[in-house]
A and B are shown apart, each in its own frame.
Chain A
Amino acid sequence: MSVSEQELRQVAELVRLAFSEDELRVLVGEFNRILQFVAKLNAVDTTGVPPTVQGVKVKNRFRPDQVRPSLPRTEALKNAVAVKDGSFVVPQIME
């Protein structure tokens, strides 16, 4: 199993990362070595084995739906680059 530049470019677009042609060429090489390395997993028979879905063996944990104090709005906005009228400013997505 190997990966093409085209495939990686598509994945990169999904995760919002850009690579130059040169960077992508290096990445494809590294990627194929990594895929070769993880391919050894195929040697293990996992028929009927349930996948681990979480780190701990606890069921859903519920709590009463009560209003509790939360971070003040000014604190929550403090790290944003652009803020207006108590809200985050985001780039326009509609005309």
Chain B
Amino acid sequence: MELCDLTLHEIKELFAEKEVLPSMVLASVAKRIQAQEESLGAYLALDLEAAFAAARAADHRIQAGKPLGEMDGIPFALKDNLCQTGKETTCASRILQGFVPPYTATAVQKLLDQGALIIGRTNMDEFAMGASTEHSAEKKTKNPWDPQRVPGGSSGGSAAAVAAGETIVALGSDTDGSIRQPAAFCGVTGLKPTYGLVSRYGLVSFASSFDQIGPIAKDAEDCALVLKAIAGFDPLDSTSLRGEQQVDYTKGLEQSLHGRTIGLPREYFGEDLDAEVRRIIMGAVEQLAELGARIVELSLKLSEYALPASYLISSAEASSSLARYDGIRYGRAAADRGDLATFYTQTRTEGFGPEVKRRIILGAYALSAGHYEKYYQKAQQIRTLIGQEFEEAFRCVDAIVTPTAPTPPFKLGDRLADPLALYLSNLYTVPVNLAGLPALSVPCGFVQGAPVGMQIIGGPFAEATILNIAHQYQKVTTYHQARPCGGRKGGSR
């Protein structure tokens, strides 16, 4: 076990005891990157020199016994759609090649203010559109558990980096499952917060009514710590919600599950679900019952409509969000600046990859005269109904448990030819985005050496509840402690 395989909370304890210094942790992370990054491909850019300089400053603070920030000296990786002043931010797209943001995302600024070391920018599906990170214009990222398999996506680089010990924690973003599904595929813990809890300022837009920033980490306790660090009202994001007060998400972690009611929606256990994944999830549910939770079956009848509804709405929003890429103010521009329309068309045709183009076209089609009512408006009505269905369910249960993805991580290239097959990987994650709810994925087993994740969904702002359930589960299991790189093997205690 090396330092880079430890959790954020373990490292914080070691810092407090002055047994370990930030530059030692960073050196361990850097060594792992040196050894594995070439084959793993989690990062688009690394900035270790700046991180080491920041680490040495953190060393001095610890040695001098000065007050420390909550994230002091902790290595972080950022998904490449999070802006940071002076750091090229590309969303793994050709069209943003060379774009250097003049401002920093609020969530990133909060981490920096609390002493975090930003070590690099991680690979993703272009503009976060995809579920395997294969739609990156730059490169493919491998699953750290099996190089033949995808890491999931779109935050595949962040999830792979955390799993492989190439960072301690990472930020991702989740529009239709892009934190939870890669977390499940890479055997780590990922949390998508309630829409509006974490400021989207400085997060490059894909579908603005869904996008949400969240942590990808080695366990639920780490997710709680990072969420506490990045959550909160931000006047720079008009959809940021004014919370009561700052919540300490670590406080409720130790609560017993006695008295908690957990719902199992039967629609998430239908014929789409892989038999092995089902067996593993049901095992995990049994463990939750042993911990004292009352398990009840319930029905979310509209679940099957979530995927098509979200596909239409997110594509419509994307067609609008991505209209800004015109080659004039930032990003890559076509060489020929002759006629305006030709210049726009060349810039965009050269700059966007096939999946992004497909979604822009679909979105524009769904919004166009004659199709608007049939597609876009219909999808938004169904979104209302799906939200109501969850609302009713949460009158009877504290949380809902489902598989995170219907299958184990699939093989690289397997679903690249069929856009719908790829999208099906978000079958169980996407309803949550439509309803704006918080949900997380925790590792709960392996199929042929590849990780499987369990999704825990909460009501609005019930992050503390789902983190509590995840933490209690992780106290009696060791799947989250398994590491792909010569670490411990996971299992049930």
Contacts and interface: CB of A to CB of B under 8 A. Distances in A.
Interface string A1-37: 1010001100110111111000000010011011001
Contacts of B357: 17, 19
Interface string A59-91: 001010000000100011011111000001011
Nearest to B319: A15
Contacts of A49: 381-382, 384-385
Contacts of A75: 102
Contact of A34 (B99, B326, B387, B419): B419
Contact of A58 (B239, B330, B380): B239
A38 B308 contact: yes
B304 A18 contact: no
Contacts of A71: 102-103
Interface string B369-400: 00000110111111111010000000000000
A27 B361 contact: yes
Interface residues of A, number: 49
Contacts, number: 149
A34 B311 contact: yes
A9 to B, nearest CB: 10
B360 A40 contact: no
Q: Is the interface of B mostly helix, strand, loop or mixed?
A: helix
Contacts of A58: 196, 239, 241
A47 to B, nearest CB: 9
Nearest to A39: B308
A40 B304 contact: yes
A40 B305 contact: yes
Contact of A41 (B195, B341, B360, B379): B379
A84 B443 CA distance: 54
B365 A55 contact: no
Given A8-B361, A44-B302, A80 B384 contact: no
A38 B311 contact: yes
Given A55-B196, A78-B100, A90-B340, A41 B362 contact: no
B87 to A, nearest CB: 13
A16 B308 contact: no
Q: Is the interface of A mostly helix, strand, loop or mixed?
A: loop
Contacts of B387: 52
B331 interface: yes
Interface stretch (B135-143, B342-350, B403-411): B342-350
Interface in B302-342: 302, 304-305, 308-309, 311-312, 319, 323, 326-331, 333, 337-341
Contacts of B383: 51-52
A11 B436 contact: no
B309 A15 contact: no
Contacts of A63: 235
A67 B374 CA distance: 44
B208 interface: yes
A71 to B, nearest CB: 6
Contacts of A42: 378
B299 interface: no
A57 B349 CA distance: 37
B209 A17 contact: no
Contacts of A80: 328-330
B319 A17 contact: no
A55 B382 contact: no
A90 to B, nearest CB: 6
B358 interface: yes
Contact of B339 (A7, A88, A91): A91
Contacts of B436: 55-56
Interface of B: 98-100, 102-103, 195-196, 208-210, 235, 238-239, 241, 302, 304-305, 308-309, 311-312, 319, 323, 326-331, 333, 337-341, 343-346, 348-349, 352, 357-358, 360-362, 364-365, 368, 374-375, 377-385, 387, 419-420, 434, 436
